[in-house]
């Protein structure tokens, strides 16, 4: 079915662009890369080392472009095939159609239809207004942001006038965020506590995964963006109305006393996608060698989960647990709350040798209740430094995130060398630290070193 | 003897006339003519840039430049096509008279146009001897020009012009010295000086020819003082001086569509 849908879609694109592609420029590019990650088991550091290969990811990425002479019609396809024997993919292989869209572009408007990745917002890495695409979080946030993004089937109309653009995006087909598997090392503690119920008594739990909204017009995600430059300041206003691709969970408890005897499922675990609205704005301007960027959004409402008390699973006896669960049958597992998120930062570059980017990102849940699994306030300082050596062949960089409120942190130091213009090698580490039940603190056992080689063609 | 005298008189007369004509041109006029020699309403140029570093390692880039003149300035889009790793990288510049340029950089790895700070303009362009500043165009009005002398350069009669940036104009160099061909006003050589007045770079023509009836530097070399054997050779592969470029090419939307 998926293949049929894809074939029909590609035929539609070709039919749409055929008249304009008579004098087409066609190009085929891509890359072949390999990334190996080795875990640093910290318990042994100092006296001994132990290495565990966490990833051996080989990727072939192909980008095909076709456009007519005056660039009024265009087709773009980006697909990759990935192989990793460490068990993340089914049969160790996965292919992704990252983007595939056709577009018509005139001076005052453009229309694009197909699978696309959008990048909204003027802040770096953390973008409160960049809400259209879900992400692949199976390796937490250790992949590059663009690589984490999942393309969405969409229609995009852009109107342009005097340096301003107004973009409307409609996403009729909902795509959820990809989460780490229940046995993954990258499972965040909130999800782990949900899965702990299913893991403890799998035979009594019905797991309703992937409960997507029905494919109806009303369920489409829509987003609008007005963007332009006023004087010397870049500005954007955005609005999003759609489903949160990051699920929360509802737990249904079967109170029928015969259920246990009959072997019926006692629990139903259902992924729940909340529809919400987000109103946001972003700006960027420069002064001398400095760039200032800011971005913020107000979300109303998003759904947050209450903490799940793992102690009910302390017993190995299903009867004991069941009795505890029966008492929780009327519990609410999640609650809708408004929230906001804002990012503000500054970056400075000296020639192309040194680049420093400092940013603060704050998120707050309004009308907060104790016992929510998310903290009321999260504030993160992000730092990105880059220095270039040997005529820009050697890059020495470090990215870091420090959560001011939870005191946990993440760092990624690396060096990248261009052996030729087409072949690069990278060596680095990704490190996590903090208290348990914090975003990065939970990942302290996952510190790793990595190598990555990439050939572009 | 009489005929020789007549010939000499004619030569002297022509030379004197030429000298008077030349003298009529101020340093500003020469600089303006030189800067505007290839300034057409809209043009598309394809370049090949070969960067050789001090260790002799060579890198070759190809890029295309769309440029259009507007009443209040010029707009320019640079898009890399080769090598594959840099393919899609784009630089959009809006030059406005009497104000700082606005620049946006698109990198595929970020997937969006990022505003570039003015200070970034004295950064190396793709590791070459060119700076981002060099990819923009200058207005003669931004400088105070002085005609130093007339000199011969590689067999060509040239004006040597010194152009000092006016106060309040944000430019990566404090001054330039240009050797402008007296016949066709093509800039044959230029020396750039940093803000402390130190000579830092030299740009020279290797080859020039008429393209679409306009004198064009088809091959040039840029070297950085003190960088040893490092050099950047820039070649024009194609030029269309009568291009019809839609205005939407100079938007961040187009920049993001690599």
CA atoms of B158 and B181, how far apart (whole Å)? 4
Q: Where are the alpha helices (DSSP H) in chain B?
A: 2-24, 27-36, 252-255
Kindly list the residues from chain A whose CB atom is less than 8 angstroms away from the CB atom of residue B112.
119-120
Quick one: tokens of B11?
């030569």
pLDDT value at position B17? 41
pLDDT value at position B12? 44
More reliable by pLDDT, A434 or B18 = A434
pLDDT value at position A252? 79
The alpha carbon of residue B119 is apart from the nearest alpha carbon of chain A, in Å, by: 4
DSSP A186: T
pLDDT value at position A210? 65
Task: Write out the E strands in A128-274.
Answer: 152-161, 164-171, 205-208, 221-230, 233-243, 248-253, 267-272
More reliable by pLDDT, A391 or A445 = A445
Q: Look at A289 and B124 and tell me if their CB atoms are within 8 Å.
A: no
B13 touches A at CB < 8 Å: no
Please write the tens of the pLDDT for every residue from B158-201. Answer: 999 999 999 888 788 999 999 999 999 999 999 999 989 999 99
The alpha carbon of residue B173 is apart from the nearest alpha carbon of chain A, in Å, by: 13
- First and final C-alpha spacing in chain A: 32
pLDDT value at position A69? 81
B46 touches A at CB < 8 Å: no
The tens place of each residue's pLDDT in chain B, 258 residues long, gives 444 444 444 444 444 444 444 456 899 999 999 988 878 899 999 999 999 988 888 889 999 999 999 988 889 999 998 888 888 899 999 988 777 788 899 998 889 999 987 666 677 777 788 887 787 767 888 899 999 999 999 999 999 999 999 988 878 899 999 999 999 999 999 999 998 999 999 999 999 998 888 889 999 999 999 888 889 999 999 999 999 998 889 999 999 987
Stretch A36-42: mean pLDDT, rounded? 86
| In the predicted structure, residue A12 carries a pLDDT above the cut 70 | no
pLDDT value at position B157? 94
Please write the tens of the pLDDT for every residue from A288-343. Answer: 889 999 999 999 999 898 887 666 555 566 677 777 667 766 777 889 999 999 99
Task: Write out the E strands in B53-198.
Answer: 58-70, 73-82, 90-96, 102-107, 112-116, 143-153, 156-165, 175-181, 187-193
Q: Look at A421 and B53 and tell me if their CB atoms are within 8 Å.
A: no
Q: Look at B119 and A289 and tell me if their CB atoms are within 8 Å.
A: yes
What's the burial of A426, exposed, middle or buried (CB within 10 Å: 0-12/13-18/19+)?
Answer: middle
CA atoms of B101 and B94, how far apart (whole Å)? 6
CB-based contact A303:A288 (threshold 8 Å): no
pLDDT value at position B28? 93
Q: Look at B115 and A227 and tell me if their CB atoms are within 8 Å.
A: no
Kindly list the residues from chain A whose CB atom is less than 8 angstroms away from the CB atom of residue B110.
119, 146
More reliable by pLDDT, A160 or A162 = A160
Q: Look at A232 and B230 and tell me if their CB atoms are within 8 Å.
A: no
| In the predicted structure, residue A260 carries a pLDDT above the cut 80 | no
Kindly list the residues from chain A whose CB atom is less than 8 angstroms away from the CB atom of residue B126.
392
Interface test with A, best of B48, B71, B120, B224 (most A CBs within 10 A): B120
The alpha carbon of residue B219 is apart from the nearest alpha carbon of chain A, in Å, by: 22
Torsion sign, CA atoms A284, A411, A364, A305: positive
The alpha carbon of residue A72 is apart from the nearest alpha carbon of chain B, in Å, by: 10
The chain B residue lying nearest A109, using CA atoms, is B248
pLDDT value at position A265? 78
Please write the tens of the pLDDT for every residue from A231-255. Answer: 889 999 999 999 999 988 887 777 7
CA atoms of A116 and A340, how far apart (whole Å)? 26
pLDDT value at position A18? 54
pLDDT value at position A45? 55
Q: Look at A390 and B53 and tell me if their CB atoms are within 8 Å.
A: yes
DSSP A136: B
| In the predicted structure, residue A131 carries a pLDDT above the cut 90 | yes
Please write the tens of the pLDDT for every residue from A336-377. Answer: 999 999 999 999 987 767 899 999 999 999 999 988 888 999
CA atoms of A301 and A244, how far apart (whole Å)? 10
More reliable by pLDDT, A269 or A73 = A73
The alpha carbon of residue A386 is apart from the nearest alpha carbon of chain B, in Å, by: 14
Please write the tens of the pLDDT for every residue from A168-179. Answer: 999 999 999 999
Q: Where are the alpha helices (DSSP H) in A232-371?
A: 259-262, 318-326
B120 touches A at CB < 8 Å: yes
Q: Look at A290 and B85 and tell me if their CB atoms are within 8 Å.
A: no
Quick one: tokens of A46?
């100092």
The alpha carbon of residue B247 is apart from the nearest alpha carbon of chain A, in Å, by: 6
Please write the tens of the pLDDT for every residue from A218-233. Answer: 899 999 999 999 988 9
For A307, phi and psi rounded to 5 degrees? Answer: -60, 140
Q: Is the ipTM of this complex over 0.90?
A: no
Q: Look at A285 and B111 and tell me if their CB atoms are within 8 Å.
A: no
pLDDT value at position B15? 42
Stretch A89-105: mean pLDDT, rounded? 94
């Amino acid at each position: 079915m998926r293949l049929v849908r894809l074939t029909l879609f590609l035929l539609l694109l070709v039919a749409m662009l055929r008249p304009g592609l008579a004098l087409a420029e066609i190009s085929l590019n891509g890359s072949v890369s390999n990334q190996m990650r080795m875990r640093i088991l910290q318990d042994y550091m100092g006296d001994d080392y132990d290495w565990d290969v966490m990833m051996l990811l080989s990727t072939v990425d192909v980008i095909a472009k076709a456009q007519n002479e005056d660039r009024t019609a265009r087709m773009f396809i980006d697909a990759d095939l990935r192989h990793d024997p460490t068990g993340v993919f089914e049969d160790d292989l996965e292919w992704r159609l990252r983007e595939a869209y056709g577009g018509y572009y005139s001076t005052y408007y453009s229309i694009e239809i197909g699978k696309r990745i959008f990048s909204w917002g003027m802040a770096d890495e953390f973008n409160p207004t960049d809400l259209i695409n879900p992400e692949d979080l199976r390796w937490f946030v250790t992949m590059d942001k663009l690589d984490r993004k999942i393309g969405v089937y969409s229609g995009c109309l852009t109107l342009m006038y005097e340096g301003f653009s107004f973009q409307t995006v409609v996403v009729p087909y909902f795509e959820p965020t990809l989460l780490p598997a229940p046995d993954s090392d990258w499972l965040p503690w909130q999800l782990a506590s949900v899965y702990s119920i299913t893991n403890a008594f799998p035979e009594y739990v019905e797991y309703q995964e992937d409960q997507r909204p029905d494919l109806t017009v009303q369920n489409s995600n829509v987003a609008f963006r007005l963007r332009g430059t006023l004087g010397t300041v870049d500005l954007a206003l955005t609005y999003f109305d759609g489903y949160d691709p990051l699920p929360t969970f509802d737990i249904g408890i079967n109170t029928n006393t015969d259920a246990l005897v009959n072997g019926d499922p006692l629990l139903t675990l259902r992924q729940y996608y909340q529809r919400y609205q987000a109103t946001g704005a972003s700006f960027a301007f420069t002064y001398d060698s400095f760039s200032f960027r800011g971005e913020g959004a107000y979300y109303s409402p998003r759904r947050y989960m209450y903490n799940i008390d793992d102690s009910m699973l302390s017993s190995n006896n299903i009867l004991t647990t069941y009795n505890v669960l029966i008492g929780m049958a009327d519990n609410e597992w999640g609650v809708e709350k408004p929230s906001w998120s804002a990012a503000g930062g500054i970056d400075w570059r000296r020639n192309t040798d040194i680049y420093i980017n400092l940013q603060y990102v704050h998120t707050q849940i309004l009308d907060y209740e104790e016992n929510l699994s998310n903290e009321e306030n999260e504030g993160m300082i992000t730092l990105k430094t880059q220095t270039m050596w040997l005529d820009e062949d050697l890059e020495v960089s470090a990215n870091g995130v420090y959560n001011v409120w939870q005191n946990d942190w993440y760092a990624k130091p690396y060096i990248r060398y261009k052996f030729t213009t087409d072949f690069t090698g990278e060596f680095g580490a990704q490190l996590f630290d903090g208290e348990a039940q914090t975003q990065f603190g939970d990942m302290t056992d996952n510190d790793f070193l990595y190598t990555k080689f990439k050939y572009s063609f | 003897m009489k005929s020789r005298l007549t010939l000499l008189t004619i030569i002297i007369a022509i030379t004197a006339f030429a000298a008077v004509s030349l003298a009529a041109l101020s340093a500003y006029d020469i600089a303006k003519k030189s800067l505007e020699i290839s300034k057409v309403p809209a043009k598309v140029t394809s370049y090949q840039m070969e960067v050789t570093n001090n260790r002799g390692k060579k890198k070759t880039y190809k890029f295309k430049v769309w440029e259009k003149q507007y009443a209040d300035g010029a707009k320019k889009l640079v898009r890399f096509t080769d090598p594959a790793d840099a393919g899609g990288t784009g630089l959009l510049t809006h030059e406005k008279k009497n104000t700082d340029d606005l620049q946006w950089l698109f990198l595929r790895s970020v997937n969006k146009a990022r505003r570039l700070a003015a200070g970034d303009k004295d950064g190396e362009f793709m590791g070459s001897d060119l700076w981002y500043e060099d990819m923009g165009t200058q207005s003669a009005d931004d400088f105070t020009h002085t005609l130093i002398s007339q000199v011969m350069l590689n067999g060509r009669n040239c004006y040597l012009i010194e152009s000092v940036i006016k106060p309040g104009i944000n430019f990566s160099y404090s001054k330039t010295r240009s050797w402008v061909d007296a016949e066709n006003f093509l800039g044959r050589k230029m020396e750039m000086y940093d803000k402390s007045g130190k000579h830092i770079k030299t740009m020279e023509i290797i080859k020039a020819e008429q393209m679409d009836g306009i004198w064009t530097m088809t091959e040039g070399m840029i070297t950085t003082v003190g960088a040893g054997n490092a050099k950047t050779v820039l070649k024009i592969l194609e030029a269309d001086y009568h291009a019809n470029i839609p205005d939407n090419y100079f938007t961040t939307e187009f920049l993001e569509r690599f």
